Every structure is written in structure tokens, then in C-alpha cells.
Amino acid sequence: MLYARIRILLIFVFLVTGTILHFKGTAGAWYLYLAGVILLVTQVIFGNVWSAFSLLKKGKVQAAEKLVNFTKFPRLLLPQHRAYYHFCKGLIALQHKDFANGKTNLKTALDLGLRTDNDNAMAALNLAHLFYVQKDYPSAKKHLKQAKRFPTNDLLLKENIEKLTQILQKQS
């Protein structure tokens, strides 16, 4: 969160200082404008998604939620960053037992395409588990099958896929 605030503060400082120097007639003002605009554009198209995702991996859900909520215009994010934005929002929603938002965001993340097979498998597994909890077994099986299609080297993920497979086989 501190990183995001420092970045916004730097954008403001660069643009204000550039404006002051511009009106004083200093030729170096354009450097500050350029730095401010570059920081602004990168903030808009990249957001704080990777930092939030990193926090989620460490189990810091509240910090990740604050950081991902700092992204005000997710539609302006680059596609891969938008996918991870929705992935983070979906996992956070599931932590809060907000199944409707979790389902919507995880489906969007899968549709946009996550970077790694592990992340795709994790999103599909979470959707499968969500549908299982809601007793929608055909959808749970469909998403579990999707999770299995992604090759993963994460032993915990493989173990959870196997557990859910066994549970869903008993439902048939």
C-alpha cells in the first residue's frame, strides 16, 4: 500500500514541480513532465496487481485487498494484469465467503488467461470447489476437469485436485 501511495505522490510532485518550473521559464521542466506522465501511464495500465498477488501468496489477504482496491479503473489495465486483478478479487471474495463475486471474478480471470499453468489450475480448482459447496456437481466436475488440464508442479495443488476428484466421484 505504501508503494502505491509513494507512486501517486511522485506523480503529483513531478507534475507540480514541472508546472512551476515551466512557468518560471526553466528549460528542464519537460523532464519532470515526462517522468510524471510515465509514472501515471504505468500506474493506469499495470496498477498494483502484482504486489497484491504477491501479498495473497504470502497469506496477507487484508493487505492484498487494500492494494487491489487501490486500482480504480481495472478496465484500463493490460489484459494479463486485468486477469490477475480478477484472480486476486476472486480469491479475496472467496475468503470473505462472497461466492457470487468470487465466481464472477475467477471466471473472468480464466477467460482472460492467467500467465502460469499453476495459476490457471488454482483458479479452476477454486471454481470447482465453489460449485461443489453450492451443490452444483456438474459445474464442479467441469471446472475440476479444466483444472486437471493444466500441468502443475505444485504438490499442494495436485493434492487438492485429487481430494476434490475423490469427493466428486462419491457424488456420482
For the stretch 56-68, pLDDT in tens is 999 999 999 999 9
Cell numbers linked to 20: 512551476
pTM of the shown model: 0.86
Question: pLDDT for 116-164, tens place per residue?
Answer: 999 999 999 999 999 999 999 999 999 999 999 999 888 999 999 999 9
Look-up of cell digits 468470487: 102
Q: What is the pLDDT of residue 6?
A: 85
Angle at 105 between CA 104 and CA 111, to 5 degrees: 90
Share of the chain above pLDDT 90, in %: 66
Question: pLDDT for 81-102, tens place per residue?
Answer: 999 999 999 999 999 999 999 9
- Angstrom distances, CA of residue 125 to CA of 4, 112, 132, 137, 141: 31, 16, 10, 13, 10
Q: What is the pLDDT of residue 155?
A: 92
- CA 45 to CA 74: how far, in whole Å? 8
Q: What is the pLDDT of residue 157?
A: 92
